[in-house]
Structure 1
Amino acid sequence: MSVLVVLEVEDGRASLVSREALTFARDLGAGELHAVLVGAASEGLLADCRAAGVALVHEATDPALVRYAAAAWAAVVEAAGRAARADLVIAPGTGRGNEVLAHVAARRTLRMAANVVAVESLSPLVVQRQVVGGAALERASVPSRVRLLTMAGHAVEPVPAETPGEARVLPLEVALDSADLRAQVVRVEQRESADTSGLTGARVVVGAGRGAGGPDGFTAVDALAARLGGAVGVSRVVTSLGWRPHHEQVGQTGSRIAPDLYLACGISGSIQHWAGCASSRTIIAVNTDPDAPMVTKADYAVVGDMHEVLPALLEELG
């Protein structure tokens, strides 16, 4: 019996959500830990796999896979699942991870649970998963013989295994046909200053909403984020009004964050915004409205004007 984790790669290393998924899978105690990779494994990625306790890395390097194609990746996951004799397959709950496993489920007529945050039992598989944009948890059963699930981002912290794995690379032969490659990425255009990794990976995020008052109301927000070594996050209304770029947006239609500290200033706290920040370890709200949802849900709150509170905080920090 084994569990197979679908890897995503960033700059030659296992992405943060992939390392989280490896920890999540290993802690289930569901058997030997395997991973599947589209593309050649770098030494850095193999080091990440060894640290996570991975026994085998199933590597698919067919040139036809250079461009991302969900159906082709699903074929790779299927082949790796057979090679690993896996009865549990886990992917990160990213757009790509959810899409690929949905294809696997459709191809194999299996059931899939998306955005899982916890597993209550393995036999039968009973999980807790995020629904309604992360605003609620649903308890669900996955009765398929081969169970498929995607793990919600930041459901666990990536932790090295007590005993490193061998992470031995096993070449994977995959039979692809034209249908698998019918829809694929043909070009990627990087928007200038659209890097969200600083936001999603930040340990401190200073957020601001309508209470900022306008584009000029972010001076103290930017200064405080820089002083704390963190990143700036904003609510949807801020990007809709054109005050800040979309890649800074936190929420259901933006980035999901899980910092140690989220300082939410002038943000009312709609359910869509809460879906993006609920995984934060500590939330401090600054708002003039004591009844704002963000204030009532936060761990700590300061009822006051952000334009007075943040400068005072900066002065105190020196």
Structure 2
Amino acid sequence: MGTVLVLIDHADGRIRKPALELLTMARRLGTPIAVVLGAGSSAAEVADAASEYGAATVYVADAPEFADYLVVPHADAVAQIARTTDPTAILITSSPEGKEIAARLAVRLSAGLITDAVNLEADDNGPLAIQSVFAATYAVASRVTQGTPVITVKPNAAVPEPAATTCRIEHVAVEFSPAATGTKVVSRTPRTTSGRPELTEAAIVISGGRGVGGPEGFKVVEDLADALGAAVGASRAAVDAGWYPHANQVGQTGKQVSPQLYLAAGISGAIQHRAGMQTSKVIMAVNKDPEAPIFDLADYGVVGDLFTVLPELTDQIVARET
């Protein structure tokens, strides 16, 4: 088996959980080599974390372009490193930014691209990427047949498993293309944090929909989420009504999540919402309507009033923790 290039996602000087998942999955396919871009003074710390999860080599590149411009500098760097290392596959987190980097990278390398994989398997003819499609009705196994496979993997596709190794850090000077400075970041606004996990990375997501009845109805959703250490999501109907921020919307026009547990409270289960959470490992639904489409997708369902069921569940969880 050859090497597998992994683009490391990091923030605030720390490696992010989806990157650890990628390194874990990369070990199934070969020897992971990590790429850390724009980490600044935190590069060594991020590289050390990557080595704890099996990265044998960490390529580090730092330049103002990574922070001052959008995704093209990252595509330039990964393409340059890929041409010198000739990996058997390139893995990138399946986020909006990650998928754009992957698409540009595939074009530059004249390679095939697979997005939103939920699992990876080793095969003699190249890595197999498993995708979940049509409301999780089918699992599709895909393989790139031309060039180096570029694959984006959804967060929570694997449980990070440490495999500490001694890594070699190699600093790279990137030659940026003229397109790298085409779109500049002119300002940044710090995101308001709730103290809860990032929605797309959370192992547990509790979402509320039209059934919560209004903004105040999300309190029972938030209380349960806080008891479980979960993220809070919302359906498009709740977001469009102004009951919850758009940043928390789960669905086709919102964020796609794939947690270990997804609980839908007061959500009917329209196809637009299912498109954003159908790859969750376990799905639970709470709804007063026994005919709600969400029950067709759910592993566990409770027909009942969410304002009764959720507080009781929260109380049970808190009691068990104390």
Q: TM-score range, shorter-chain basis?
A: 0.7 to 0.9
Counterpart of 1:256 in structure 2 is 256
SS in 1 for 2:285: strand
Shift, 1:271, TM fit: 2.4
Kept in 2, the 8 Å contact 1:87–1:145? The answer is no
Percent of aligned pairs with the same amino acid:
35
**Is contact 2:18-2:201 (8 Å) kept?**
no
Gaps of 5+ in 2: none
Rounded Cα–Cα distance in structure 2 between residues aligned with 1:288 and 1:60: 54
1:154 is aligned, of 156, 169, 183, to: 156
Does the CA-based 8 Å contact 2:285-2:298 persist in structure 1? yes
**Letter of the structure 2 residue corresponding to residue 309 of structure 1:** V
TM-score by length of 2: 0.86
Q: Is the 8 A contact 2:257 2:279 kept in 1?
A: yes
CA distance in 1, matches of 2:196, 2:182: 29
Distance 2:311 2:84 in 1: 59
1:9-158 matches, cutoff 5 A: 9-28=10-29, 30=30, 32-39=31-38, 40=40, 41-120=42-121, 121-131=123-133, 137-158=139-160
Measured after TM superposition, the shift of residue 49 of structure 1 is 0.8
Distance in 2 between residues matched to 1:167 and 1:68, nearest whole Å = 30
| Residues 169, 280 of structure 1: alpha-carbon distance in 2 compared, 3 angstrom cutoff | same
Q: Name the TM-score, length of structure 1 as normaliser.
A: 0.87
Structure 1: where are the runs of 5+ without partners? none
The C-alpha deviation readout for 1:178-235, integer Å capped at 9, x for no partner, is 3322124332223445887443444443322111112232333233333334333221
Residue 267 of structure 2 aligns to which amino acid in structure 1? I
Letter of the 2:20 counterpart: R
1:179 aligned partner: 179
Aligned partner letter, 2:114: A
One-letter code of the match for 1:139? Answer: A
Match of 1:83, SS state, is: helix
Tell me the alpha carbon deviations over residues 130-161 of structure 1, each in whole angstroms, 9 at most, x when there is no partner: 45687754333311232211112221111112
Distance change (3 Å), C-alpha of 1:11 and 1:125: same
Structure 1 residue runs of 4 or more that deviate by more than 6 Å after TM superposition:
132-135
Q: How many residues end up aligned between the 2 structures?
A: 314
Structure 1 residue 77: Cα displacement:
0.6
Structure 1 residues 113 and 205: alpha-carbon distance in aligned structure 2, compared to 1, 3 A threshold: closer
Please tell me the root mean square deviation across aligned C-alpha atoms, in Å: 2.6
Say if 1:79 and 1:172, in contact at 8 Å, map to a contact too.
Answer: no
Summarize deviations over 1:13-54 as a string: whole Å, max 9, x none.
2111111111111122x2x32111212453431221111110
CA distance in 2 between partners of 1:315 and 1:33 (Å): 44
The structure-2 alpha-carbon separation of the partners of 1:109 and 1:297, relative to structure 1 and needing over 3 Å to count, comes to same
1:155-234 equivalent positions in 2, closer than 5 A:
155-161=157-163, 164-193=164-193, 197-234=197-234
One-letter amino acid matched to 1:158 = P
Q: 1:219 to 1:75 in 2, by over 3 A?
A: closer
CA contact (8 A) 1:286 1:304 kept: yes
Letter in 1 for 2:292: A
Distance of 2:120 and 2:204 partners within structure 1 = 28
Q: Distance in 2 between matches of 1:133 and 1:99?
A: 24
Query: How much does 1:314 deviate?
Result: 4.6
The alpha carbon displacement at 1:67 in A equals 2.1
Please tell me the residue identity of whatever aligns with 2:141.
Answer: R
When residues 176 and 231 of structure 1 are mapped into structure 2, their CA distance, relative to the original with a 3 A threshold, is closer
Q: Distance in 1 between matches of 2:72 and 2:314?
A: 51
| Structure 1 match to 2:293 | 293
What secondary structure, in the 3-state scheme, does the structure 1 residue paired with 2:251 have?
coil
Per the alignment, in what secondary structure is the counterpart of residue 302 of structure 1? strand
SS in 1 for 2:226: helix
Identify the range of structure 1 (238-247 vs 55-64) with the bigger mean alpha-carbon deviation.
55-64
